[in-house]
Structure 1
Amino acid sequence: EQVRFYDTRGLRDGLELPKHCFSCTDGYVLVYSTDSKESFKRVELLKKEIDKSKDKKEVTIVVLGNKSDLQEQRRVDHDAAQHWAKGEKVKLWEVSVADRHTLIEPFIYLASKMTQPQSKSAFPLSRKNKGS
């Protein structure tokens, strides 16, 4: 197994994610800053773009709200962000790079979801013959 990270930091509004970000992708980590409503809005837009462009039906998306340690500078409401994540069926954690232990759970979750077998296909590979 291999994990690759593509950093889209600096992606300007109106620019699309490169197409290689969608081919064969099993998971995404979207990061916003809890002290920036604009960065959260950008994550919302990226999630919409992923939904309409992804190649696979089952893709795990993890959203990280960075700078959780800077409560006095918070601009993105925790409960509102969690409500959005629940509606979008993504997992959201608030983390701080100052406390790297907060990053462990989200990445373990992502790796575990990406290594699970895909759900059963509607087209079974083998059939049992019933009393011919």
Structure 2
Amino acid sequence: MALVLVEGAVLMCSHQGRLRLTGADPHLTVSGKGVLTAGAEAGAVFGSAAQPVPGMIAPCACVDPSGRPAPCVTTATLPPGLSLKLSVGGRPVLLAGAQGITVPPGAPPGTWSVADPGQKLLEAI
């Protein structure tokens, strides 16, 4: 069992960037926060110190070969980061073990993982 991610969950990239997720599904809530389903994590941009983005907690330190900021962009979750039993609107919910690849523009790929699921009540498999 793993905790289900909810709106406000925090992702961290391999360059120490941290970002709060939005775009939760309000059909299932935990403590008033909508759960995050598959796809909510894909395409999230961590932002850099020079280019902050909404939800950024800490900037991504990735730079391209010329030294310019190249903040990470997430790809979809790799297994086993999605619930096999709990779904909302036909889409599996994201779990605290979710992780994936990042694609910084012009820089080598990195990784992302969940730093904080945003709640401690609901678990799923």
Q: TM-score range by the shorter chain?
A: under 0.3
Q: Which has the higher strand share?
A: 2
Tell me which of the two structures has the higher relative contact order, counting C-alpha pairs closer than 8 angstroms and 6 or more residues apart.
Answer: 2
Q: TM-score, normalised by structure 1?
A: 0.25
Q: Which has the higher helix share?
A: 1
Higher-Rg structure is 1
